[in-house]
Structure 1
């Protein structure tokens, strides 16, 4: 059985690592280079670096910080934020990252995923999907009929079973709803050539109440490429749920690592004790 990956995430704003709740109310968590070096020493499997306001501010990613971060780690590095062109991807790969994560540009121009996968290989192309639960009756009117028939919204039962909701994909750092259903979009990005999906529940993000297992399972079961569960982790037990009940290939977390509640190595040990296959070699020496 393949080992499950534990991935800390650096949400970077104005050159600093930050963490918020539901994508807002940002709190400082340190220098990205220093934080990345700490996670390298603790045995993280990969690192995700997201410039969270690049798309919204319509600017290029902070390349110097990416380069300095890549210089202090050996684990795979995924970088996202403000990626719009093949040249952007090429520049980031030259700066030291192993994979790039696209979100807003992928939704606005889906063919960009195919072009990127053909040019750089599917293993380099990650698509971030940021959904929020929205009642069917609240579907954005301006988004109706925007998507092809096979991407139209599908109703999903909400947690309490009292209403029908769909998982509305958001872009521009969670600021813009699209009316695009997350499960349908996940299937589409796989067909277009993406090699991995990072699925961040906007409802759970930063709450530390646990991942949204329902959407994680729905997306993981709908595609064959790896799905990284993201949003809501408050403990290693939440990771166990995402990696087993949610069928995710990896679990991403920020708050519990940034503020010293858990280290990567103790988290992996708790997962291993719960029967989750994880890579322990780097933390046993």
Structure 2
């Protein structure tokens, strides 16, 4: 019965065509229009294009002279690096720890994954309260233990602290996502391999180094590629916390700056250009990451 399904193409078409139409309308068509818009002169959101820019590459040239775009690109690259080190790194450590306990493993899996299911808007408001200047949780704790006094409260959104304030919640939220992927990979490792290693005298750290990590190689490669490409699209949590590039236009990311240009400034064609750059960067960097973190056949 199963083999006959693939010999008859009709049932396959019934399921594939609607999905293709959906992707065409909501993915491919908007992407093509974005490319066209990036070369057009559009006065505002919802208005028709007034022809092609003069010169046609005007918006792409503007990218190199726009200081806010340079800031957004630099912050996004930093976020990408921190994502690899902290999100995937912490998720790996937590997954290895949970995989080695026998009681309460399901509890920890649920707790670590929980931040993913919470709305990013709600998390942004929560962390705004935590980092609040005069009544936030962190300043109140520092006051209680005597590290600071009422005259030396820390402004967590000033130029010296905004990056920590903006990126910490992003790191925290997505650790659980990679944690679940890595735990699933650990569950697919046969217990027989661990038993054979234990007979040969391999202890906890040696099991991790010589068995778990090599067999998790492909899973970790997937996590790293997802982390790298995902960092380019981060928008909701930083936007709720930092809004329009505070302080002093230093906290822009590529996603938040694209939104600002499109919906607040009304420079739709330039916003489309930034969107195209994000897509191109995602494709190029993911290809580079795939070559560096090449999956292995076992």
Same fold (TM over 0.5): no
> Which structure has greater strand proportion?
1
- The structure with the largest helix share of the pair is 2
Which entry has the higher C-alpha Rg, 1 or 2? 2
TM normalised by structure 1 equals 0.24
**TM-score using structure 2 length:** 0.23
- RCO comparison, higher one (Cα < 8 Å, 6+): 2
